Amino acid sequence: MRSSAVSAILLAAVILSGCSTSSGAEDVLTPVPSKETTNAIAKPSGPIPAAAVGDAAPQASPPQEALSWTGPVPEPQALVPAERPVGMPMPTERPVAMLMPANPGIDPDPGPKSPTRSRIYSHRFRDAKPINFGRTSPRKLAVHGVDVSRWQGEIDWETLRQQGANFVYIKATDGGDHLDPMFRKNWRRAKEAGLKHGAYHFFYWCRTAGEQADWFIRNVPKEANALPPVIDVEWNGESSCKRRISPARVREKMQVFMDKLERHYGQRPIIYTAPDFYRDNLKGQMLDYPFWLRSVAAHPSKVYPGRKWLFWQYSGSGLSDGVDGKIDLNVFNGSESDWHDWVASR
């Protein structure tokens, strides 16, 4: 009886030891994606890609990083993944990417055969709800473009470019775990069609800024000729996040996000915003950042007095061959030569 009992005890110990070593920490600490819905975007029908986006081979997910936030009050604990540290200190000086360096590195007049200059197509867009902008009509500016997301569906990019889309900003990410299901295809096809292209992120006020920056970086390729990344900041009544934080807190969170993107992509991010959000949070602020302004009823100088701007979104009801339904129309603030100089300067 004693020998049998000892054997039984030893056998049980071996079994318990095997069980304790077969389970890793990742089995119990894997974060569960949130069910956030932002920017009126429906939840994706398929799984969210876990690898970087682009033509490169998929890579393993990067190790979890500490997330940055500023201000005295952290995000609500219910929205912060367990076991994830917060509070990464911000550097005392943040790197600055010059928008227009003194020596852009190209001949000032390279001629039509220069590879640094792409053809500029005149706009042929129509508008379902046309606005008379008078003497300040965007049609008087030379370089027009569009922004797209999943809602434009399948796009004939070659036709869209010939209609006047000389550049495109493509919806990439929302918050900390949503990827636009058309981003990968739109990015690849726009590049193949020769459009100058960049990506934008819809900022979600109920997630930490560092977490959102990590998610954007994980999904948007670091491509030499891509346009600067864009942070889209606005109030959205259809979002599941109903928070209205203070203007100071808004700018703090934006700064964390933009600093991280600037360090990674080597370009200063562009701020996209709408009139009400600008009035509440950004008027007279962030003067060293380029702005992309939504103003569909009047020239930006009337809606955002005193604010310098790089891009103007002048219509949300544009119509174009190559796209089914409506599309946002935008214009660059300058001549064709200004456009080429700005593209080369990056």
Which residue do the tokens 């775990």 mark? Answer: 177
Where are the extended beta strands (E) located within the chain?
A: 126-127, 144-148, 167-174, 178-179, 196-202, 230-233, 270-273, 291-294, 311-319, 327-332
CA–CA dist 108, 6 (Å, integer) = 89
Contact status, residue 310 vs residue 117, Cβ threshold 8 Å: no
Residue type, 264: H
> Residue 88: helix, strand or coil by DSSP?
coil
Containing 162, the helix (H) or strand (E) segment is helix 157-162
Residues taking part in catalysis:
234
**Distance from the Cα of residue 257 to its chain's centroid:** 10
Contact status, residue 44 vs residue 181, Cβ threshold 8 Å: yes
Identify the CA nearest to 178 among candidates 51, 48, 70. 48
